[in-house]
Amino acid sequence: MNLRYCLPLAFAAAAAFAQAAEKPEDATARAALQQLVPQVKIDAIEAAPLPGYRQAIVGSQVVYVSDDGKYMLQGTLYDVQSKHDLTSSRLAVDHKRKVDAVPESKRVVFAPAKPKYKVAVFTDLDCGYCRKLHSQIAEYNKLGIEVDYLFFPRTGLNSPSYDKAVSVWCAKDRNAAFTAAKAGKAPTPAKCDNPVAEEYKLGAQVGVDGTPSVFAPDGTRIGGYLSPTEMLAKLENLGTATLAGN
């Protein structure tokens, strides 16, 4: 038996079975979205908090499709009684799953000895506010905040900013090269296996449209640049879900 041919067939069969097992309303919503945008990539379809609608995760947004497939809504869905943003909460779950999939070995980490909070920051080595944030890294750490950096060169892949990020990643002392680059020193050109491209693509998937973009461990995007005290207040307000290790 040739596994090279059997495995792709098995995966295709599993995917077909999963789609066949969808509820009729899910299948109708999927068909409606694909009718509007044939090449759309749908991450998930499920019941929406809004009666009579399904919600679909499409990239970094949620869209709502009526169970009969006739109507689609885009926007923010609020629970009036609790004044809760249901759309952002659902996206945070998806963002957490995607960001958590990046192992520590693919992050540039600046952490205190015993972190209380942890954030993931999509960063560009050249952006002004990114540099301002990193210039205060000791203050974030002093407040118990671990900062895990992910690369997001704003000018895109195979650009000077991308090359600079790769060189920093490939440096012998990665954290020192990162700090030097944030201070305006050009890194020594270097190439090696690196996560820069995949982190850039991840940023696009979770809606990063500028840098820095700061995500709490629960997947909530808590801001762009935040001073150390502002970041601490944001994390405290989010509650125990932001504690390091959660």
Q: Active site residue: 154, 170, 218, 221, which one?
A: 154
Give the C-alpha separation, 87 to 243, whole Å.
23
Give the C-alpha separation, 131 to 123, whole Å.
9
Q: Active site residue: 127, 131, 148, 218, which one?
A: 127
Average pLDDT, the chain: 89
| DSSP-assigned beta bridge partners for residue 147 | 110, 119
154 in active site: yes
124 in active site: yes
Burial 19-28 (b: 16+ CB within 10 A, else e): eeeeeebbbb
Q: Nearest Cα to 91, choosing from 202, 184, 220? A: 220
Reported as a single tens digit per residue, the pLDDT across 141-196 is 999 999 999 999 999 998 999 999 999 999 999 999 999 999 999 999 999 999 99
Give the C-alpha separation, 76 to 73, whole Å.
9
**From first to last of its 246 residues, what are the pLDDT tens digits of the chain?**
343 333 344 334 434 434 446 789 999 999 999 999 888 889 999 999 999 999 999 988 999 999 999 999 999 999 999 888 999 999 999 999 999 999 999 999 999 999 999 999 999 999 999 999 999 999 999 999 999 999 999 999 989 999 999 999 999 999 999 999 999 999 999 999 999 999 999 999 999 999 999 999 999 999 999 999 999 999 998 865 555 655
Give the C-alpha separation, 167 to 118, whole Å.
25
Q: Active site residue: 26, 54, 126, 130, which one?
A: 130
HEC sequence for the chain? CCHHHHHHHHHHHHHHHHHHCCCHHHHHHHHHHHHHCCCCCCCEEEECCCCCEEEEEECCEEEEEECCCCCEEECCCEECCCCEEHHHHHHHHHHHHHHHCCCHHHCEEECCCCCCEEEEEEECCCCHHHHHHHHCHHHHHHCCEEEEEEECCCCCCCCHHHHHHHHHHCCCCHHHHHHHHHCCCCCCCCCCCCCHHHHHHHHHHCCCCCCCEEECCCCCEEECCCCHHHHHHHHHHHCHHHECCC
148 in active site: no
Q: Active site residue: 124, 126, 148, 218, which one?
A: 124
Q: Cβ of 29: how many Cβ atoms within 10 Å?
A: 28
Give the C-alpha separation, 241 to 67, whole Å.
33
Percent of the chain with pLDDT over 90: 80
- Nearby residues of 179 by Cβ (< 8 Å), 6 or more positions away: 134, 137
Give the C-alpha separation, 231 to 209, whole Å.
19
